Amino acid sequence: MSVSAARTAAWSDAHRPQGAAEAGLPIGTSGSHPVACTPVPLLHVDDHCIVAVKPAGLLSVPGRGAERRDCLAARIQAGHADALVVHRLDMATSGLVVLARGATAQRRLGIAFAARAVEKCYVAIVDGLVADDAGEIDLPLIADWPNRPRQIVDRTCGKPSLTRYRVLDRDGTAGRTRIELTPVTGRSHQLRVHLQASGHPILGDALYAPPAVHAAADRLLLHATALRFPHPASGTPLGFESAPPF
């Protein structure tokens, strides 16, 4: 990892194009597979947006097949039928997610993501002792088509991808580092691939960590800890925090 010339405090992420489910199609029951009724923690609810804490192991949006209908969107829509997804977290990742209430709010939040006016921060525990206290990882990423959903570094055809990081703590005895991550771009699996490519895979990562590092935790140790965005109606800056459960 190379240290950036100056530490950057701004947290930002790029907007990802969304599919039919993310665009707000109704999500409820499907045949003999109703969605789970287990609620998710809500940190904020108003007439225009909802901020939730997604648990690890829960899809953000429905997967393929009736048995994969249970997801964050469905659980929130069970109590707030107008909730629409704007962005998402990987199934294995936990943490903060904002949902829009209604198409107008969804469009405005989507514009904010596209303009990188949304600031996000994550905390992870990675294998090994990260040498530099702060820096950035600038490696282009592309889908590994024969091995989907994996992504890989591709310096020729990959899309520009930038992650900034700051070390929070080093555990010399266990050989682990707690690290704060700021994705400047928002590629699929960006944080996971960047850390793996830098020699510090995230503990519990079933896709990118070697077997011993995968087995070192019972879940992916990656949590979206901070989220800041302009309110979709008033434009007032909102900020939320969620402590990692590890």
Q: How confident is the model at residue 14 (pLDDT cuts 50, 70, 90)?
A: very low
Tens digit of each residue's pLDDT (9 = 90 or more) over 160-190 = 999 999 999 999 999 999 999 999 999 999 9
Contact 182, 165 (CB under 8 A): yes
Residue bearing tokens 């992916």: 220
Domain boundaries, the chain: 121-222
Q: Which member of 13, 70, 90, 205 is catalytic?
A: 90
Tens digit of each residue's pLDDT (9 = 90 or more) over 112-169 = 999 999 999 999 999 999 999 999 999 999 999 999 999 999 999 999 999 999 999 9
The fold of 121-222 is Pseudouridine synthase (3.30.2350)
Q: How confident is the model at residue 12 (pLDDT cuts 50, 70, 90)?
A: very low
What is the pTM assigned to this prediction? 0.85
In sequence order, what DSSP letters do the residues of the chain get, joined into one string? -B--SS-------PPPP--TTTTT----EETTEEPP-----EEEE-SSEEEEEEPTT--SS--SSGGG---HHHHHHTT-TTEEE-----TT-EEEEEEEESHHHHHHHHHHHHTT--EEEEEEEEES--SSSEEEEE--EEE-GGGTT-EEE-TTTPBP-EEEEEEEEEETTTTEEEEEEEESS--TTHHHHHHHHTT-PBTT-TTTS-HHHHTTSSS--EEEEEEEEE-TTT--EEEEE-----
The answer to whether residue 17 scores a pLDDT higher than 90 is no
90 is catalytic: yes
Bridge pairing between strands 151-153 and 141-143: antiparallel
Q: Please, what is the end-to-end C-alpha distance for the chain in angstroms?
A: 24
The 3 state secondary structure assigned to 156-215 is CCCECCEEEEEEEEEECCCCEEEEEEEECCCCCCHHHHHHHHCCCCECCCCCCCCHHHHC
Please tell me the predicted confidence (pLDDT) of residue 85.
97
| Mean pLDDT over each residue of the chain, to the nearest integer | 88
